[in-house]
Amino acid sequence: MTDLSAFPITQKWPARHPDLLQLYSLPTPNGVKVSIALEETGLPYEPHLVRFDANDQLSPAFLSLNPNNKIPAILDPHGPDGQPLALFESGAILVYLASKTGQLLPTDTARRFEALQWLMFQMGGVGPIFGQLGFFHKFAGKDYEDKRPRDRYVAESRRLLKVLDQHLAGREWLVGDEYGIADIATFPWVNNLIGFYGAGELVGYADFKHVDRVLQAFLARPAVQRGLKIPARD
Which residue segments constitute the domains of the chain, with CATH numbers given? 9-103 (3.40.30.10), 109-221 (1.20.1050.10)
The C-alpha atoms of residue 139 and residue 36 are separated, in whole angstroms, by 26
> What is the average pLDDT value for the chain, to the nearest integer?
97
Which pLDDT score, from 0 to 100, does residue 170 have? 95
pLDDT value of position 1: 62
pLDDT for residue 185: 98
Q: In the prediction, which pLDDT does 233 show?
A: 87
Q: What is the pLDDT of residues 51-99, one digit of tens each?
A: 999 999 999 999 999 999 999 999 999 999 999 999 999 999 999 999 9
10-residue mean pLDDT profile of the chain (234 residues): values are: 89 96 98 98 98 96 97 97 96 98 97 98 98 96 93 98 98 97 98 98 98 98 98 88
Tell whether the torsion through CA atoms of 176, 180, 182 and 184 is positive or negative.
positive
pTM of the predicted protein model: 0.96
3-state secondary structure the chain: CCCCCCCCHHHHCCCCCCCCEEEEECCCHHHHHHHHHHHHHCCCEEEEECCCCCCHHHCHHHHCCCCCCCCCEEEECCCHHHCCEEEECHHHHHHHHHHHHCCCCCCCHHHHHHHHHHHHHHHHHHHHHHHHHHHHHCCHHHHCCCCHHHHHHHHHHHHHHHHHHHHHCCCCECEECECCHHHHHHHHHHHHHHCCCCCHHHHCHHHCHHHHHHHHHHHCCHHHHHHCCCCCCC
Cα 199 → chain centroid: 19
Please give the share of the chain, as a percent, with pLDDT higher than 90. Answer: 97
